[in-house]
Chain A
Amino acid sequence: MQGARGFSLRMRDALVATALAAIVLLPVFTLHLERAGTRTVIVPEWRTLLWGCLAVFVVQMLRPLLAKRPRVALPSLPQASAGQRKVLLTAALLLAAVWPFFAGRNAVDIATLTLIYVMLSLGLNVVVGFAGLLDLGFVGFYAVGAYTYALLFHWAGWSFWHALPLAGAASATFGFVLGVPVLRLRGDYLAIVTLGFGEIIRLLLVNMTWLTGGPDGISSIPKPSVFGLEMARNPSVEGGTTFHQFFGLEFQSIHMVIFVYLMALLLALVTLYISNRLIRMPIGRAWEALREDEIACRSLGLNPMKVKLSAFTLGAMFAGFGGAFFAARQGIVNPESFTFIESALILAIVVLGGMGSQLGVIFAAVVLTVLPELAREFSEYRMAVFGAVLVLMMMWRPQGLLPMKRHHVEVPT
């Protein structure tokens, strides 16, 4: 009796869900708009509707079974002693440094991009993960870094290594100046204001054509040099020496790619090291405390403004370094590269990896940049899947793939 009643209830729910699915699918996936001359006509495709509804119906009917699935074990890292960890870390580093010499050009190039994202997400991790400030305009600081190098090169002929510290400093200054008024706001207001600032920076870059080249941006930005040796076929300055001439090697463009990769690796490691130390310092502890409870922090004598501002500024600085590097790798910067979706992507990396967890963030950066490259033929589905993954992650694992672990000392028993 109970079973029959339960079944009919479930049937009713499933039918309602199917009807809703039909309405949702109808205007988007069934009634296709096609241009026929000057008119727009409808070309219906009933099959997608049918299959979609069927799928929803079946899933709804089977839901009680699905709900009983065994809890998925959380992937946690195997415990390793300090010595083992050191060995593992060294091995991983060596591998990361050596493999490009045996890999193809494309793979190394993608790896460089991945490392730029690692750098950016570690920077955002300081802001969002450690300090709990949702920053949706992170890409603005990234843009400031990229354009600082591009403009210094374009107008003053600065080289990458000269411009790099300035790019970091410029972004940090931006972060500081924007942070002062903005950081008084609460969580989601802060998110929207930072989004607004990110968009303002991008729109200014588009519109200040006299300075930034407008929508076309700035091109032919040189790659970093090796201790003053240019990595090019021919020296750009009369009488200069290039890398391959100096070392008596034959010119190969892959050398350049590998060199850029290694520099990106170095910068990513520096970022990792710095943020790793920061979180163990009093300032890092203050960030975490503030994230957990602002009022308690204030009553314990921390100045929330200062604490937040330090996180915001440091995060922006890392974005600036990443931006300068991005400009050097691409050779061209334009405002197209700094849209909101880029901010969302970096945020997704941090969220997916686990806010505050550095290993998780690196892992997620690798996954989110390498997967789209592998699945090129599905590129049109990429963004839709990306959005859906954000939603599903928040439902099933809001703490991320490799959640942050608190540093703690265990008393041996």
Chain B
Amino acid sequence: MSEHLWMELAQQLFNGLSLGAIYALIAIGYTMVYGIIGMINFAHGELYMIGAYTGLVTLSAVGVYAGLPVWLIVALMLAVAMFVTGVYGFVVEQVAYKPLRGSPRLVALISAIGMSIFLQNWVALGQGARDMAVPSLIPGALRFGSADGFEIFMPYARILIIVVTVVLMTLLTLYIKHSRMGRASRACAQDMHMANLLGIDTNRVVSFTFVLGAVLAAVGGVLIALAVGKLNPFIGFIAGIKAFTAAVLGGIGSIPGAMLGGVILGVAETIAAAYIGSEYKDIVAFALLVSILMFRPSGLLGKPEVEKV
């Protein structure tokens, strides 16, 4: 009996981990943008949605040439979605945020909310507001069963999410640590003005941050679309808020924090859905957000912010 409970818990942990990986991928964009220009990019969740749509468009376009191996199709979907969404990230920053740099926080935040509403309806106008089915490219699952019938069920699509996320996070950490651009962006996060004086093209760093966040969000979008099997233009809003929760949970501005926060949120949410009731999973996520902000606004791995006159 107790073994049965453990199996169930392991199953929920797996589900939570794959969900949390998606949150982590999106949260990176929030946390890096916040770290550098101190604004909440409210439209970031929409980039994830656009990534998912681009993936589906690519899949449908490639579907004509049937017979390509599945791994190639998935790689193609990811590549195209990353590219297009990266461009979206760049354009959004240029159009909606760059002209507002230096203006009060509320102004930038309202512009971001406007951008978020605009992008949702932009896609709804172009591709229709209804649910779109995504064909399941990666069917099948790993099963660890026990003889009495209860088994742990791990769909390959969800395993892929975890694997890709771990690989990308490792690459990202190395890149931020060792590359020129990574160093420049860390310098900007510490002191934008000083970095500029020392000859760093801060505009490029900001653009780079937006593009990088968008690219990671696109990966999340494509992978979740493959795992869940449907999407609509409004999936980005809730996902965005939750990823933001993850970023805040881990400590906004901190990249490892975003990963940790994503995983904790994903696990908390699936456990809540399993043991309290699935209709309460969003409430749990929001309650987590509210309580983190109230009790530890600097997050688990963040530095407390000092108010300066």
Kindly identify which residue among A40, A136, A207 contacts B279, using a CB–CB cutoff of 8 Å.
A207
A383 in contact with B120 (CB, 8 Å):
yes
Complex interface bits, B40-79 against A, C-beta within 8 A gives 1, otherwise 0? 1000000000100110110111010000000000000000
In the complex, the answer to whether B117 meets A383 with C-beta atoms within 8 Å is yes
A97 → B minimal CB distance (Å): 35
A157 at the binding interface (Cβ < 8 Å): no
Contact B114 A391 (CB under 8 A): yes
Kindly specify which of B18-26, B102-110, B257-265 makes contact with the partner chain.
B102-110
Q: Does A356 contact B (CB under 8 A)?
A: no
- Asked whether any CB of chain B lies closer than 8 Å to the CB of A96, the reply is no
Contact of A192 among B123, B287, B289 (CB under 8 A): B289
CA distance A387 to B108 in the complex (A): 13
Q: Which residues of A contact B88 (CB under 8 A)?
A: 24
Given A33-B127, A384-B121; A193-B110 close (CB under 8 Å)? no
- Chain B hits for A39, CB < 8 A: 63, 135
B87 touches A398 (CB 8 A): no
Minimum distance in angstroms from B242 CB to a CB of chain A: 10
Is the C-beta of A366 less than 8 angstroms from some C-beta in chain B? no
Stretch in A142-150, A197-205, A249-257, A260-268 touching the partner: A197-205
A310 to chain B, nearest CB (A): 20
Interface mask (A17-54 → B, CB under 8 Å = 1, otherwise 0): 00010011011110111010001111000000000000
Q: Which residues of A contact B103 (CB under 8 A)?
A: 394, 398
Shortest Cβ distance from B55 into A: residue:
A27
CB-CB under 8 A from A391, the residues of chain B are: 95-96, 111, 114-115, 118
Q: How far is the CA of A77 from the CA of B118 in the complex (A)?
A: 31
**Distance of B51 from chain A, by nearest CB (Å):** 10
A189 touches B297 (CB 8 A): yes
CA gap between A341 and B117 in the complex, in Å: 8
- A340 to B282 CA separation, bound complex (whole angstroms): 14
A33:B294 contact, CB within 8 angstroms: no
Q: Which B residues are in CB contact (< 8 Å) with A395?
A: 99-100, 111
The docked-state distance in angstroms from the alpha carbon of A200 to that of B124 is 26
CA distance A341 to B237 in the complex (A): 11
Tell me which residues across on chain B come within 8 A of A188, comparing CB atoms.
39-40, 105-106, 109
Which of B53, B90, B110, B279 touches A206 (beta carbons < 8 Å)? B279
B195 to chain A, nearest CB (A): 22
**In the complex, which residues of chain A have a beta carbon less than 8 angstroms from the beta carbon of B95?**
391
Is B309's beta carbon under 8 Å from chain A? yes
Cβ-defined partner of A32 (8 Å) among B104, B106, B126: B126
Q: Which residue of B lies closest to A394 (CB)?
A: B111
**A182: Cβ under 8 A from any B Cβ:** yes
**Counting CB contacts under 8 A, is A347 at the interface?**
yes
B241 to chain A, nearest CB (A): 7
Chain A residues, CB < 8 A from B289:
192-193, 196
Whether A344 contacts B113 in the complex (CB less than 8 A), given A26-B84, A33-B127, A132-B106, comes out as yes
Interface residue B306 (Cβ < 8 Å from any Cβ of A): no
A29–B57 Cα distance when bound, in Å, is 11
- Chain A residues with Cβ below 8 Å from B167 are none
Are B118 and A387 in contact, with the CB atoms below 8 A? Answer: yes
* Residues from chain B with Cβ under 8 Å of A351 in the complex: 110
Q: For the complex formed, measure the closest distance between the CB of B132 and the CB atoms of chain A, giving whole angstroms.
A: 6
**Chain A residues within an 8 Å CB radius of B141:** none
Q: What residues on A are CB-neighbors of B124 within 8 Å?
A: 380, 383-384
Nearest to B54 among chain A residues (CB) is A27
In the complex, how many angstroms separate the beta carbon of A63 from the nearest chain B beta carbon?
13
Q: Which of B84, B109, B115 contacts A134 (CB 8 A)?
A: B109
Residue among A295, A340, A387, A395 having the largest count of chain B Cβ atoms under 10 Å = A387
B309:A295 contact, CB within 8 angstroms = yes
| Chain A residues whose C-beta falls within 8 Å of the C-beta of B84 in the assembled complex | 23-24, 26-27
Q: Is residue A172 contacting chain B, with contact meaning CB distance below 8 A?
A: no
Asked whether any CB of chain B lies closer than 8 Å to the CB of A191, the reply is yes
Residues of B contacting A389 in the complex (Cβ-Cβ under 8 angstroms): 114
Tell me whether A388 is interfacial, beta carbon within 8 Å.
yes
* B269-309 near A? 1/0 per residue, CB < 8 Å: 00000000001101100110110011001000000000101
By the criterion CB–CB under 8 Å, are A203 and B282 in contact? yes
Is B150 interfacial (CB-CB < 8 Å)? Answer: no
Q: Are A193 and B54 in contact (CB under 8 A)?
A: no
Q: Is the CB of B122 within 8 A of A344?
A: no
Chain A's nearest CB lies how many Å from the CB of B104?
Answer: 8
Closest to A193 in B: B293
Please tell me if the beta carbons of B61 and A42 are within 8 angstroms of each other in the complex.
Answer: yes
A185 beta carbon closer than 8 Å to chain B: yes
- The verdict on A386 contacting chain B, using a C-beta distance below 8 Å, is yes
A145 to chain B, nearest CB (A): 21
Q: How far is the CA of A187 from the CA of B99 in the complex (A)?
A: 20
One of A23, A24, A191, A200 near B109 (C-beta < 8 A): A191
Q: List, sorted by A's number, 23 A–B pairs whose CB atoms are closer than 8 Å.
A: A20-B91, A24-B91, A27-B50, A27-B84, A28-B50, A31-B60, A42-B57, A132-B106, A181-B294, A184-B294, A193-B289, A193-B294, A196-B287, A196-B293, A199-B286, A200-B283, A204-B283, A341-B117, A380-B125, A383-B117, A386-B114, A389-B114, A390-B117
Q: List 13 extra interface pairs beyond A27-B53, A196-B287, A199-B282, CB under 8 A.
A: A33-B127, A41-B60, A136-B113, A181-B294, A193-B290, A199-B286, A295-B309, A351-B110, A387-B119, A388-B118, A389-B114, A391-B111, A394-B111
